[in-house]
């Protein structure tokens, strides 16, 4: 074995059964395939097996009926869950159960009979000693009930467990339900190192996705797959950092009160309330869809910059001039360029009747007046987010090419109108909004990613290389961020007063709701940390519903914004403001 490559971590699995949800199966497959960890021990809950063996089939049927009677107040909720699962069943359902034994061979299996209280499981000393003889680095809890006592000390780096909810505002269950009920804009999940406090362990990783306002089933399907990516990232962090990772955990032990209730399965009244709320949301959504549609447009402002600050946005948005498209299309993702004394804005232009968008350019004349957009790059697949940059005397463009599952590079043969493909910079990745920045002599590629099984780009991946053309090396801890609030890029990074800032899209409660600007506090091949410092909302004039791009070049600052327009054409207004 190469001594420069850390050994795989030895992990143990705490299970009730060898049949597990497919998201668990896929996580284990990826973790073992990558060499981050190997399954060294399976710890099966013997209490589950004993109950199944000791009760004859007739007794099990009677017990099940008795349980249904005791919990009869939950019958409406159970019926609602069945109906919702039938109506909104995900194509890639993360909770579909599969046999995980193919990922466990050869692996010893230890059956442990826990000492049980009403809600908790405790391990006897003999079982703890037998488990510890396997020298586990991490134990992963996918079974048993609430673990207490010495059961939490069976592995070097503790027992890890998912909580499918944001534990700062949602403790309890059912997973993904209460966020829909309360129409909370985001649904969170955490990977935590368990402690004696229920749902109050040390948070190792956290993710947030936008809440589906209609279906708990669809809501769960999206964020379960996003949360799955947390495990491999945090295991790799421990593999590479060892005890230093524990020191970082200690820094996270901050005082954190919890003031929400302990959520439980809803009763008949709450289930009926959700039915009424979902029905109202569906009717309102359909009415809005029939009467109006969203249209993105571009706004810009010229402002003499301070020396050296030509590419820093000057965002006093109520002063911006608007460029409104015709009613049959939208303009979005503006990228300004200042070249040879002239200003240009590259945009995504999408006719509503077309399945794909293309890249167009708006050229300003010498008096500062914008011309009409003209197409400069068309393909038979969707193009957007035209990241244009100059390097080594040549102009390049990296548009979003998500449909190709790749990041494609183009070079200008006649700027700004003619471009030729230079091939793929990255392949096999569902990348959105690729964004380049040269920081301290190293080139960095930031891109949003739609994680396998997920329905939105909430993950931020980093790649680094010696030139903006590559070759690219993935960051050691990709995805460095999983958060619908700001992970997805929203424009070029900019440098101001010695600090790098990164615009990111806020996709909650809906796509493109706002732009969040982050201060990059640390970036290296093994580290990345940023903090949000400001939020740009679409509130500079009435009627706006979103904004998701911020860029500047040569003293020209541009944004985009989403407005609602009537579907009846004679009611449209397209003159610049």
Give the model confidence (pLDDT) of 233-250 as tens digits: 999 999 999 888 776 765
Segment 72-88 shows an average pLDDT of 88
With 0-12 / 13-18 / 19 or more C-beta atoms within 10 angstroms meaning exposed / middle / buried, residue 350 is buried
In the numeric block, the tokens 């590079």 are attached to 409
Q: List helix spans (H) across 331-435.
A: none
Question: Which ranges of 434-575 does DSSP label H, i.e. alpha helix?
Answer: none
Tokens of 132: 């510890």
Copy the structure tokens of residue 75.
Answer: 């019958």
How much is the pLDDT for 148? 95
570: confidence class by pLDDT, cuts 50, 70, 90: very low
Confidence of residue 577 (pLDDT cuts 50, 70, 90): very low
pLDDT at 103 over 90: no
Q: How much is the pLDDT for 68? A: 57
Given a cut of 50, is residue 576 above it in pLDDT? no
Q: Residue 468: left if φ>0, alpha if ψ -120 to 50, beta else—which one?
A: alpha
- pLDDT above 70: percentage of residues in the chain: 93
Helix H or strand E encompassing 426? strand 418-427
DSSP state of 62: H
Q: Which residues pair with 423 in a beta bridge?
A: 409
More confident residue, 444 or 87: 444
Q: What's the mean pLDDT in 348-372?
A: 95
Cβ-count burial 380-402 (b if 16+ within 10 Å, e if not): eebbbbbbbbeeeeebbbbbbbb
Residue 373 has pLDDT above 50, yes or no: yes
Per-residue confidence (pLDDT) for residue 180, from 0 to 100:
93
Cα separation, 224 vs 23, whole angstroms: 8
Q: Taking phi first (over 0 means left), then psi (-120 to 50 degrees means alpha), and beta for anything else, what does residue 242 get?
A: left
pLDDT the model gives residue 250 = 56
Q: Does the pLDDT at position 5 exceed 90? A: no
Structure tokens at 216: 């708990």
Q: What pLDDT digit, counting tens, does each position of 483-501 carry?
A: 999 999 999 999 999 999 9
Report pLDDT digits (tens) over 425-442: 999 999 999 999 999 999
Q: Give bridge partners of residue 193 from the DSSP assignment.
A: 160, 202
- Which residue reads 């495990």 in tokens? 231
Taking only Cα atoms into account, the Rg of the chain, rounded to an integer number of angstroms, comes to: 27
- The model's pLDDT over 9-67, given as tens digits with 9 standing for 90+, comes to 999 999 999 999 999 999 999 999 999 999 999 999 999 877 766 666 655 555 566 55
Mind listing the domains of the chain with CATH numbers?
Answer: 9-266 (3.40.50.170), 293-484+550-571 (2.115.10.20)
Q: Where are the alpha helices (DSSP H) in 242-302?
A: 243-251, 268-291
Label residues 298-323 b or e (16+ Cβ within 10 Å = b).
bbbbeeebeeeeebbbbbebeebeeb
Q: How many CB atoms lie within 10 A of CB 558?
A: 27
HSE-up of residue 107 (Cα within 13 Å, Cβ side): 22
For residue 393, how many C-alpha atoms fall within 13 Å in the half-sphere facing its CB?
Answer: 0
């Amino acid at each position: 074995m190469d001594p420069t490559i850390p050994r795989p971590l030895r992990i143990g699995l705490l299970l009730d059964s060898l049949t597990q949800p497919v998201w668990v199966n896929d996580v284990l497959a990826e973790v073992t395939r990558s060499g981050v960890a190997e399954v060294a021990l399976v710890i099966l809950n013997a209490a589950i097996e004993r109950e199944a063996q000791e009760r004859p089939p007739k007794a099990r049927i009677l017990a099940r009926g008795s349980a249904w009677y005791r919990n009869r107040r939950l019958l409406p909720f159970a019926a609602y869950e069945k109906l919702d699962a039938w109506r909104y069943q995900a194509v890639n359902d993360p909770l579909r159960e599969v046999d995980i034994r193919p990922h466990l061979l050869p692996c010893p299996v230890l059956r442990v009979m826990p000492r049980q209280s009403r809600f908790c499981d405790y391990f006897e000393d003999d079982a703890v000693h037998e488990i510890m003889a396997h020298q586990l680095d991490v134990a992963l809890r996918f079974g048993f009930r609430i673990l207490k006592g010495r059961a939490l000390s069976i592995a070097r780096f503790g027992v890890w467990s998912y909580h499918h909810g944001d534990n700062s505002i949602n403790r309890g269950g059912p997973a993904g339900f209460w966020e829909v009920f309360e129409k909370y804009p985001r649904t969170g999940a955490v990977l935590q190192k368990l402690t004696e406090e229920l749902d109050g362990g040390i948070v190792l990783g956290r993710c947030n996705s936008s809440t589906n306002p209609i279906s708990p089933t669809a809501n769960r399907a999206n964020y379960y797959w996003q949360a799955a990516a947390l495990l491999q990232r945090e295991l790799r962090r421990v593999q590479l950092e060892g005890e230093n990772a524990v020191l970082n955990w200690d820094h996270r032990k901050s005082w954190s009160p919890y003031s929400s209730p302990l959520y439980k399965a809803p009763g008949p009244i709450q289930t009926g309330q959700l039915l009424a709320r979902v029905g109202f949301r569906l009717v309102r959504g359909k009415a809005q869809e029939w009467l109006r549609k969203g249209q993105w447009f571009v706004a810009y402002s010229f402002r003499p910059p301070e020396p050296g600050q030509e590419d820093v946005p000057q965002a006093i948005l109520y002063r911006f001039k608007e460029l409104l498209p015709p009613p049959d299309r939208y303009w979005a993702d503006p990228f300004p360029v200042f070249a040879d004394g002239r200003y240009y804005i590259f945009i995504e232009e999408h006719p509503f009747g077309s399945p794909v968008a293309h890249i167009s350019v708006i050229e300003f004349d010498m008096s500062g007046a914008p011309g009409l957009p003209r197409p400069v790059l068309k393909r038979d697949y969707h193009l957007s987010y035209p990241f244009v940059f100059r390097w080594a005397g040549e102009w390049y463009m990296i548009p979003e090419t998500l449909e190709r599952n790749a990041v494609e590079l183009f070079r200008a043969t006649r700027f700004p109108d003619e471009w030729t493909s230079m091939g793929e910079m990255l392949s096999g990745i569902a990348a959105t909004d690729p964004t380049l920045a040269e920081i301290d002599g190293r080139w960095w590629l930031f891109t949003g990613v739609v994680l396998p099984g997920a329905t939105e780009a909430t993950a931020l991946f980093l790649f680094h290389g010696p030139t903006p053309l590559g070759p690219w090396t993935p960051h050691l801890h990709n995805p460095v961020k999983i958060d619908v609030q700001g992970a997805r890029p929203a424009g070029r990074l900019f440098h101001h007063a010695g600090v790098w800032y990164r615009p990111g899209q806020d996709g909650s409660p809906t796509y493109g709701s706002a732009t969040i600007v982050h201060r990059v506090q640390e970036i290296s091949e093994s580290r990345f940390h940023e903090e949000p410092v400001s939020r740009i909302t679409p509130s500079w004039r009435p009627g706006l519903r979103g904004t998701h791009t911020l860029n500047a070049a040569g003293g020209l600052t541009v944004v985009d914004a989403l407005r609602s327009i009537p579907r009846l054409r004679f009611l449209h207004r397209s003159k610049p403001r």
